[in-house]
Chains A and B, each alone.
Chain A
Amino acid sequence: MTALLDINQLLDELEAGLRRILAERGVDNPALIGIRTGGVWLADVMSKRLGLAEPYGELDISFYRDDFSRIGLNPRVAPSSLPFDTEGRDIILIDDVIMSGRTIRAAMNEIFDYGRPASIILATLIDLGARELPVQPDVTGKALALDAHQRVKLRGPDPLRIEFQETGQ
């Protein structure tokens, strides 16, 4: 299952899925938010592909993680930046990989601290399954089933590429 993935094919899939769901829901002015770091690279690409004039937001979820009481604070936290008011907006939340669903939960908690959005559409490039929370993407580039010792990571920003790693365990 580690055959090379064509990043452009996945991005095409993501773009087509987003266009479809935006049309279905009648959303004509979405606000895009990427989760650091991979999600921000994807937000940059999708913002251009969808022709959104408004700058996209960047979310750093370090202050909202649910594992502070186990591992402490992420030492590489950077400020979140949402250059628009989320109150009443239709949001596209984008990340590179979804697995447990915990990152998305943290991201949604953080978004609500900026204001109550009208809706959130979740888009992820790769869905690895293995969910621990009832959080599902609305749009995904590709669903993958990895072996326990395999990891996948988005590298970028230029060029974007998908990297598989063997953990050796």
Chain B
Amino acid sequence: MTANDPSPNHLQLTRDGQLRHFLTLDGLGRELLTDILDTADSFIEVGERRIKKVPLLRGRTVVNLFFESSTRTRSTFELAAKRLSADVLNLDINTSATSKGESLSDTLLNLEAMASDMFVVRHSQSGAPHFIAESVTPGVAIINAGDGRHAHPTQAMLDMLTIRQHKGSFEGLKVAIVGDVLHSRVARSQIRALNVLGAGEVRVIAPGTLLPRDVEDLGCTVEYDMARGMQDLDVVIMLRLQKERMEGALLPSEREFYRLYGLNQDKLALAKPDCIVMHPGPINRGVEIESAVADGPQSVILNQVTNGIAIRMAVMSMAMGGQVAERQQKHSDHEGARA
């Protein structure tokens, strides 16, 4: 794999295939995704101990670099880093130097000068974490915590972990993603992950105005009618209606959206009886999901939050481990060249 490779893997992986940044699921194979899920399983057990901490990242500094606000994602990344024994710096960029005119590159240089080992990046621009990974000093790991409409790979992986916990495997599963696919970086990453992990069918259910063009090319079927789309489902993933990203009149009204695409008990009854209900949060109750469903016995929404910590611990320790192994490799190459 060369630096000219159009896939992002020359950036994400070491030359022996270990993770060193986690930017997107594109190009990552089933084996690596399964490794992430397996490692996360072990971290779930750590979260049940009296002392919920392991010494893996002791003495390392993780910077949460959030250019876009977030509560759940940032706090679970922070908790994940702390449970790995790292020191954590939370940087709220909206109220920080960029508002005084400092460029992204200058902000990064300053953070690197503080000997940071990892940046967890959320940005409203698609591709920002890639840009940072390309420009950052070697040895610093970049984790994508959501970029524009592009990707949210840790969210997709925590969803995969939740599905595997409840369904055992992905083989033959029928999974639907419902709602605002157009604005959803989560949906893109989920469709990718489900296909790589071997789900039987990935369906998106949404009005045409909330679907990206050529959505089938992502690896899914499309259903505009929710009652038809709910048939035979093992998993239904509701998306949040991203009102803040809506431009123009994509929807007649919230009430109309809820009538057609909101998940209530009647619609859920059309799926398999053991169908699980997922939502990446935050929930708009009564807009995309009924409270009785969100809080009901088939809902695994709070499991998703718990699993988010374990997945983030897995990805952070694997990427840091890849950086470390790579540095060691370069060092021994250097020694070998001198000998």
Interface residues of A (CB under 8 A from B): 60, 62-64, 68-73, 75, 77-81, 87, 109, 112-115
Main secondary structure of the interface of A (DSSP, over half): loop
Can you list 28 pairs linking A and B with CB atoms under 8 Å apart?
Answer: A60-B42, A63-B42, A63-B54, A63-B55, A63-B56, A64-B55, A68-B324, A70-B328, A71-B325, A72-B18, A72-B323, A72-B325, A73-B318, A73-B321, A75-B39, A77-B39, A78-B38, A78-B42, A79-B41, A79-B44, A80-B42, A87-B50, A112-B51, A113-B50, A113-B51, A113-B54, A114-B49, A114-B51
Q: Is B132 an interface residue (CB 8 A)?
A: no
Chain A residues within an 8 Å CB radius of B328: 70-71
Chain A residues within an 8 Å CB radius of B318: 72-73
Q: Flag B314-331 by CB within 8 Å of A: 1 or 0 each.
A: 000110111111001000
Main secondary structure of the interface of B (DSSP, over half): helix
In whole angstroms, how far apart are the Cα atoms of A71 and B46 in the complex?
Answer: 22
In whole angstroms, how far apart are the Cα atoms of A81 and B48 in the complex?
Answer: 11
B103 to chain A, nearest CB (A): 32
In whole angstroms, how far apart are the Cα atoms of A2 and B123 in the complex?
Answer: 61
In whole angstroms, how far apart are the Cα atoms of A86 and B54 in the complex?
Answer: 17
Instruction: Please name the residue on chain B nearest to A74 by beta carbon.
Output: B321
In whole angstroms, how far apart are the Cα atoms of A101 and B269 in the complex?
Answer: 58
Chain A residues within an 8 Å CB radius of B322: 72
Question: How many residues on B have C-beta within 8 angstroms of the other chain's C-beta atoms?
Answer: 25
In whole angstroms, how far apart are the Cα atoms of A152 and B54 in the complex?
Answer: 30
Are A73 and B317 touching (Cβ within 8 A)?
A: yes
Once A63-B55, A72-B322 are accepted as A-B contacts, the answer to whether A80 and B45 lie under 8 Å apart by CB is yes
Q: Is B35 an interface residue (CB 8 A)?
A: yes
Q: Is B53 an interface residue (CB 8 A)?
A: yes
In whole angstroms, how far apart are the Cα atoms of A78 and B42 in the complex?
Answer: 6
Indicate which residue in A64, A70, A71, A79 contacts B54 across the interface (CB closer than 8 Å).
A64
Instruction: Please name the residue on chain A nearest to B60 by beta carbon.
Output: A69
Q: Flag B22-36 by CB within 8 Å of A: 1 or 0 each.
A: 000000000000010
Chain B residues within an 8 Å CB radius of A78: 38, 41-42
Interface centre among B54, B318, B323 (most CB of A within 10 A): B54
In whole angstroms, how far apart are the Cα atoms of A64 and B54 in the complex?
Answer: 7
Once A73-B318, A115-B50 are accepted as A-B contacts, the answer to whether A68 and B56 lie under 8 Å apart by CB is yes
In whole angstroms, how far apart are the Cα atoms of A63 and B217 in the complex?
Answer: 40
Chain A residues within an 8 Å CB radius of B317: 63, 73
Which A-B residue pairs are the 10 nearest by beta carbons?
Answer: A72-B321, A73-B321, A63-B54, A79-B45, A72-B325, A113-B51, A79-B42, A72-B324, A77-B42, A73-B317
Instruction: Please name the residue on chain A nearest to B331 by beta carbon.
Output: A70
A61 to chain B, nearest CB (A): 10
A7 to chain B, nearest CB (A): 30
Chain B residues within an 8 Å CB radius of A75: 18, 35, 39
Contacting A at CB under 8 A, from B275-319, are 317-318
Contacting A at CB under 8 A, from B247-290, are none
In whole angstroms, how far apart are the Cα atoms of A112 and B50 in the complex?
Answer: 9
B42 to chain A, nearest CB (A): 4
Chain B residues within an 8 Å CB radius of A63: 42, 46, 54-56, 317
Indicate which residue in A69, A79, A109, A115 contacts B324 across the interface (CB closer than 8 Å).
A69
Indicate which residue in B35, B56, B324 contacts A71 across the interface (CB closer than 8 Å).
B324
In whole angstroms, how far apart are the Cα atoms of A78 and B321 in the complex?
Answer: 17
Q: Flag B153-193 by CB within 8 Å of A: 1 or 0 each.
A: 00000000000000000000000000000000000000000
